[in-house]
Structure 1
Amino acid sequence: MEERQAKMQQLRAKMRSTLQANRKDLVEESAKAKVTARDLARQEKQRKLAETLRQRLDAEERGEDVDRKKNWEYTIEENDEWEKRQARKKRRSNFEFNDYEDAARRRYKKDVDLLKPDLEAYQKQKEAAAGSSSQAVAAHEDLYRDANSLVYADHKPSEEAIDRVASKLNADIDRRRNFSKTRVNEKEGDVTYINEANRVFNKKIERYYNKYTAEIRANFERGTAL
């Protein structure tokens, strides 16, 4: 009998330990599931920032110029491209909205910046157009078309190009769908204030006098106050 009770207690202890282990694994799995891609990106950004600060502190202790040392890693072409990008960014940020045509032009320029031309395919077309054979002449006319060319609508894009356009369109649709200009306290109802101080004051007034003026306000809304 005592042996059976001891075995039962042992089984119960094992069951409790198993339940605790399962619960612990469940909590850990739930915590991992809550870590989204945005959290991972934020953690990676914080890690890079901490690494940069550590390198800067180490360089200051050694008496080195961090920015000067970092600039040595860039080539002249990369530096020129960076300066052009900064100048273009500054030029585009300094604008006033004129009309929808101007907004469309700015959107078009941003889309053009995202284009990645297929230089390898273009080089193959140039090589095929070089020469004096009939096929080379036809390839030359096909590649370098002018205003007198009657050939059109014969281009067949690759699957990669189609996927790239589809992904760009889907990204634009998602951006427009997620774009929102929800104002603060917009969901509260009618706007009865002109600034933040007036909003706080109206809240205080409503807290004390709402129960007395509810019928009057309802009559005003129905147009039967008189």
Structure 2
Amino acid sequence: METDEPEPAPAPEEPALTTLLDSTAELVEKAEHVVEHVVEPVVEAVEEKIADVAEAAEQFVDEMAGIEETHTVSDAATPSDGKDEALSEAKEVPAKLTMEERKAKLDQLRKKMAASSRANRASLVEEASKAKMNARDTARLERQRKLAETLRLKADAEERGEDVERAKNWEYTIEENEEWEKKLARKKRRADFEFHDDAHAARRRYKKDLDQIKPDLEAYNKQKAIAMGHVGSLVGFNPTAGSSSEVAVISQEQRLAAENLYRDANTLIYGDSKPSEDAIDRVVGKINKDIDKKGKFSRKRLNEEEGDITYINEHNRVFNKKIARYYDKYTAEIRASFERGTAL
């Protein structure tokens, strides 16, 4: 009896599979070839650059070490003849340094660079702080420094059981003490600041200018030396004298110098004084200084160090000072905003 069985599927053709495998292998081979020709040159170039950088760094370290070694050997060597010169030349040849020594030298150079940078930064900050400080702050700090120095000396004297004023007076000489007493007496005489009349004010101004304008002692001594050259011969003609040899012959310069230096009521010389250029410059400088001082003059305020006035009397000032110790840190910003007009 015949049965209907399904026919088996035909097997794939072997030539087609072989062709596919060959194509895949060919593509893989081409990809490897492309990688070899593209990636490998890049890697080689990078390796060459790294090697060049390392070689340059090593050469720089060798040169720096060689220069330092050469300076050290040349400073230590003091050749006196040809043999010593040959030895010094041999010593100047730098020795080969190990990697540890090079690393130590590099660390030393880095430390020097860091120290130099810190020093430059510190000097820059100091100069900037000095530029921000004005003359008023400088004077205030100087007063505070002097006050602190005085308090320190007073505390040290109290610990030793000594008088501060007595210990300070031992540092002055008798001449300095007399000059100081004269200055105090003169200041006491001029302590009357009330305005009496114009003549009194002009006299006080004249006395004050005399304290600042010093006499020209050099010119005076020179004129006096010329006049006193023949002090015994400064005599006139005496008709009753028995001989003309008693009349001394003096020079015209000495005679004029004597008449200018020792003028009396019978002197006919008048209005012939000619000031020098330096004297004229001093007078002009004094006048300009007075003009500038008058233009910058302002009444001295009693609260220059305290700041703005926030009180109406002395009792209110003390009260405000007490509460400011506790509330200033909270109200400073609010007060500043009100003053700027931005607290809306």
Q: TM-score range by the shorter chain?
A: 0.5 to 0.7
1:40 is aligned to 2:159:
no
Structure 1 CA distance for aligned equivalents of residues 212 and 260 of structure 2: 26
1:119 is aligned to 2:217:
yes
Alignment counterpart, residue 62 of structure 1, candidates 160, 172, 181: 160
Structure 2 CA distance for aligned equivalents of residues 164 and 101 of structure 1: 25
Q: CA RMSD in A?
A: 3.1
Compared CA separation, residues 170 and 123, structure 1 to 2 (3 A): same
5+ residue gaps, structure 2, are 1-121, 234-249, 302-311, 314-344
User: What residue identity is the alignment partner of 2:262?
Assistant: Y
Q: Deviations over 1:97-125 (max 9, x none)?
A: 11111111111111111122222332222
Instruction: Name the SS for the 1:141 alignment partner.
Output: helix
1:168 is aligned to 2:286:
yes
User: What residue identity is the alignment partner of 1:140?
Assistant: A
Give 1:30 shift.
5.0
User: What residue identity is the alignment partner of 1:114?
Assistant: Q
User: What residue identity is the alignment partner of 1:94?
Assistant: D
1:99 is aligned to 2:217:
no
Compared CA separation, residues 142 and 68, structure 1 to 2 (3 A): same
What is the count of residue pairs matched by the alignment? 164
User: Percent identity of the aligned residues?
Assistant: 61
TM-score by length of 2: 0.42
Residue pairs, 1:43-192, within 5 angstroms:
43-94=141-192, 96-130=194-228, 131=230, 132=233, 133-134=250-251, 135-147=253-265, 148-159=267-278, 161-180=279-298
5+ residue gaps, structure 1, are 1-23, 184-195, 198-226
Moved over 6 A (4+): 24-28
Compared CA separation, residues 182 and 47, structure 1 to 2 (3 A): closer
Compared CA separation, residues 154 and 102, structure 1 to 2 (3 A): closer
Give 1:155 shift.
1.9
Compared CA separation, residues 75 and 32, structure 1 to 2 (3 A): closer
Compared CA separation, residues 153 and 38, structure 1 to 2 (3 A): farther
Compared CA separation, residues 79 and 27, structure 1 to 2 (3 A): closer
Structure 2 CA distance for aligned equivalents of residues 66 and 108 of structure 1: 38
Structure 2 CA distance for aligned equivalents of residues 64 and 182 of structure 1: 38
Give 1:68 shift.
0.8
Q: Which moved more, 1:29-38 or 1:162-171?
A: 29-38
Instruction: Name the SS for the 1:93 alignment partner.
Output: coil
Compared CA separation, residues 95 and 154, structure 1 to 2 (3 A): closer
Which of the pair has the greater relative contact order for Cα pairs under 8 Å at 6+ separation? 2
- Paired residue for 1:193? none
Q: Which entry has the higher C-alpha Rg, 1 or 2?
A: 2
User: What residue identity is the alignment partner of 1:143?
Assistant: L
Q: Deviations over 1:149-189 (max 9, x none)?
A: 32423423242x33322221122101211224599xxxxxx
Structure 2 CA distance for aligned equivalents of residues 177 and 117 of structure 1: 28
Structure 2 CA distance for aligned equivalents of residues 112 and 53 of structure 1: 37
Structure 2 CA distance for aligned equivalents of residues 153 and 182 of structure 1: 45
Structure 1 CA distance for aligned equivalents of residues 127 and 271 of structure 2: 57
